[in-house]
Amino acid sequence: MPEFSFELDDDQKAVRDWIHGFAVDVMRPAAAEWDEREETPWPIIQEAAKIGLYSLDFYAQQYFDPTGLGIPMTMEELFWGDAGIALSIVGTSLAAVAVLANGTEEQVGTWIPPMYGDANDVKVAAFCSSEPDAGSDVAAMRTRAVYDEAKDEWVINGTKTWVTNGGIAGVHVVIASVDPELGARGHASFVVPPGTRGLSQGQKFKKHGIRASHTAEVVLEDVRVPGHCLLGGKEKLDERLARARERARSGTERGKNAAMATFEASRPAVGAQAVGVARAAYEVALEYAKNRVQFGRPIIDNQGIAFQLADMRTQIDAARLLVWRASWMATAGRPFTAAEGSMSKLFAGETAKAVTAQAVQILGGNGFTREYPVERMHRDAAIFTIFEGTSEIQRLVIARTLSGMQIR
């Protein structure tokens, strides 16, 4: 493992600048249009695929960056470009992470490539965890998977909600309960291949922000998938369930579940996304403050504005450092003994909301209009304190980790 450094190496800088160029030239000019259309920006995704930015190879290279900084660097630059379009580009990665976190090597090789397709026929994938009555409370999940031993198939029934790419994806990764008595410890992950009967799109949501990203319900009615679509395999599942039952009987500490394994792996990356949005809004506000003249001088000459910008930049840099620390720790195999992954997501998400709100305030009436991008950035930033674990859930995770108590 290389020594930790705050300085990106030449290769990392080249990748960062390449992504930044795509954000400047392709994403930003299209951002307002796709936000208004509230549709998946397929042409932009295809442009990303043509240059290799939307591909398994690229994300694998960043995922295996030995410093751990490849993914957060990528996420920050894309979301600096535009959060809605960026989420359409990276939304597939959550399903891919679910396969990486829970699947076998064979399953990784089988299911992740078709999630992306190719430059001539781009695809997206979806990770289906939340339900109408089970968001943060994953133990309340009602989607059920029952094993049909005679046919070696799993039969899945339930409804998922708030699914990025739900219904339009080729591959769906679905979290379902296989043993309801075990609560969250009785969950498992399943791949639902393209064209599987019984899976359909429900309601498509009209959202406050990240509107270029497709979010919808996914309905599963007697969906049958082959046994090999159970991530990790049935033998591993049976062993895990047996351990969970024994722990439940003895009252000892319980293990992780499939959904949480995915979220824990992705939280620093989500924090990096929030940093990108915050940085974008800060840069707009800084430039505006230097050029907006009131009472005969630029408004940045006023301490009330200058100090706001100083605080904004400080918060952004602090958030990035928390994200980089958590990303490096994960790559180095260091345990999150103080819930550092949740810390990074919590602080970065709250920073994005605060900084974008301050940017709107600095721009005044202009900031409240769609003529300037900070209005959209502020709407987009709201999601970072909600999805993949609300800020309240992050605080709960941190408090439980620090105290060793089952705080409720």
Task: State both tokens at 368.
Answer: 């409240």
State pLDDT tens for residues 33-79. 999 999 999 999 999 999 999 998 999 899 899 999 999 999 999 99
For 125-250, CATH number out of 2.40.110.10, 3.90.1010.10, 3.40.50.2000, 4.10.80.40 equals: 2.40.110.10
Catalytic residues: 388
Q: For position 382, what pLDDT does the model report?
A: 97
* CATH 2.40.110.10 segments of the chain: 125-250
Q: How confident is the chain (408 residues) per 10-residue block, as mean pLDDT?
A: 74 97 98 97 97 93 92 97 98 92 94 94 95 75 96 97 97 96 91 97 97 98 97 94 84 54 74 98 98 96 97 98 95 91 97 98 97 98 93 94 90
CATH class of this structure's domain 10-122: mainly alpha
What's the pTM?
0.92
Q: Where in the chain is the domain with CATH 1.20.140.10?
A: 258-403
Residues carrying CATH 1.10.540.10, the chain:
10-122
Render pLDDT for 297-338 as a digit per residue (tens, 0 to 9): 999 999 999 999 999 999 999 999 999 999 999 998 899 999
d(CA 72, CA 60): 13
Could you count the other beta carbons within 10 Å of the beta carbon of residue 156?
25
CATH topology of domain 258-403: Butyryl-CoA Dehydrogenase, subunit A; domain 3 (1.20.140)
State how far the Cα of 89 lies from the Cα of 394, in Å rounded to an integer.
Answer: 25
Residue 269 has a pLDDT of 94
The phi, psi pair for 293, rounded to 5°, reads -105, 125
The answer to whether 270 and 345 are in contact (CB under 8 A) is: yes
